[in-house]
Amino acid sequence: MALVERDGRVRARKIDRVDGATLKGAIRENVDRSARIMTDEWAAYHGIGTEFHGGHEVVTHSAGEYARGDAHVNSAESYFALLKRGVMGSLHHISKQHLDRYCDEFSFRWDHRSTTDAERTEIAIRQTEGRRLTYR
């Protein structure tokens, strides 16, 4: 599951079930109530807009709709494309056990996509300062 701020960061994590309770729970947990929610037509999202001041915009992919004004889910789809390219092109396989770690890695890459490789490396190294890196 990925939640993407418009022109911003991504928060992605493994979820066990792709159902309304799980998806809506994750949205409630991670999204400010003033936000406008944008999703595709997956039925699990129905009703979430009543809980957010910005409402809920739905793009209907099955009808060939991919954007309506500024309502789209292209940012989330772009994140998943980056993750999938990483799996297919470099990693080849990831386990469910470590999926959250891969989501974190590719979220970092997404969040710093407009920086150079050198800048991204420096940021990653700075984030390890004062931390002991262990497998666990």
For residue range 54-90, list pLDDT tens digits in order.
999 999 999 999 999 999 999 999 999 999 999 999 8
Length of the chain: 136
**Residue 132 maps to a domain:** no
**Residue 135 maps to a domain:** no
Please give the tally of structural domains in the chain. Answer: 1
**Residue 83 maps to a domain:** yes
pLDDT value at residue 136: 75
Prediction pTM value: 0.85
**Residue 80 maps to a domain:** yes
Angle, CA of 130, 133 and 136, to the nearest 5°: 135
Whether residue 20 has pLDDT greater than 80:
yes
pLDDT band at 132 (very low <50, low <70, confident <90, very high): confident
Question: Residues 104-125: pLDDT tens digits?
Answer: 999 999 999 999 999 999 999 9
**Residue 21 maps to a domain:** yes
**Residue 136 maps to a domain:** no
**Which residue range(s) make up the domain with 100?**
2-127
Percentage of the residues of the chain whose pLDDT score is greater than 90: 90
Beta pairing, strands 10-12 & 2-4:
antiparallel
**Residue 134 maps to a domain:** no
Question: Residues 82-100: pLDDT tens digits?
Answer: 999 999 998 898 999 999 9
Question: C-alpha distances in angstroms, 128 versus 10, 40, 112, 114?
Answer: 20, 37, 16, 21
pLDDT band at 134 (very low <50, low <70, confident <90, very high): confident
- HEC assignment per residue over the chain: CEEECCCCCEEECCCCCCCHHHHHHHHHHHCCCCCCEEEECCHHHCCHHHHCCCCEEEECHHHCCCEECCEECHHHHHHHHHHHHHHHHHHCCCCHHHHHHHHHHHHHHHHCCCCCHHHHHHHHHHHCCCCCCCCC
**Residue 91 maps to a domain:** yes
